[in-house]
Amino acid sequence: MESEELKVLENYITRHNLKITHQRRAVLNAFLNSDKHVSVEELYTTITETEPKIGLATVYRTLALLTKSGLALEMDFGDGQKRYEHSYMHAHHDHMVCTECGKIIEFNHPLIEKFQEEVARQNGFTITSHKLDLFGHCNDCG
């Protein structure tokens, strides 16, 4: 697969004197085919279907590479699982996390974004990225 994302990863990997291995490619493909907010364990299970010899450590390290190269966003909703979602060419959003059932609601509010910029400006601060996670209960869980 010659995707834009593969080029981004290859670029990053070459700049850092690493190699694009068969296993790293498999992790990238599984990640690109994954749903939003996929956990490392879920990805690992998928990858082992085609790469039974891959180690969990390789999956972790490759996901770290994907994060550093700007393809993935890493998130931690406090349930003991690192999760990832697509970052390359995707619009920014924030998250609401139900602490009962684990449901994740995505949102984007222009005023929240604007006020963050305003607060940063008042403090002479330049925001390069941000994460906003709200925790609570969804409709189903009351």
The residues of the shown chain that bind Zn ion, judged by CB under 5 A, are 85, 98, 100-101, 103, 106, 138, 140-141
| Residue number with CB closer to Zn ion (125 or 135) | 135
Q: Cα(29)–Cα(21) distance, rounded to whole angstroms?
A: 12
Q: Least separation, in Å, of the C-beta of 73 and Zn ion?
A: 8
Nearer to Zn ion, 29 or 99 (CB): 99
Please report how the helices 56-68 and 40-50 are oriented relative to each other, as an axis angle in degrees rounded to 10. Answer: 110
The CB-of-133 to Zn ion minimum distance in angstroms stands at 10
CB of 80 to Zn ion, least distance (A): 18
According to DSSP, the β-strands at 104-107 and 133-136 are unpaired
Quick one: 41 or 100, whose CB is closer to Zn ion?
100
Beta-bridge mates of residue 38: 84
Q: Which of 7, 131 has the CB closer to Zn ion?
A: 131
Nearer to Zn ion, 79 or 100 (CB): 100
Give the Cα separation of 80 and 138 in Å (integer): 20
- Least distance to Zn ion, CB of residue 36, Å: 5
3-state DSSP percent of the chain in helix, strand and coil, to 5: 45, 20, 40
The least distance separating Zn ion from the CB of residue 9, rounded to whole angstroms, comes to 21
Q: What are 70's two structure tokens?
A: 């700007």
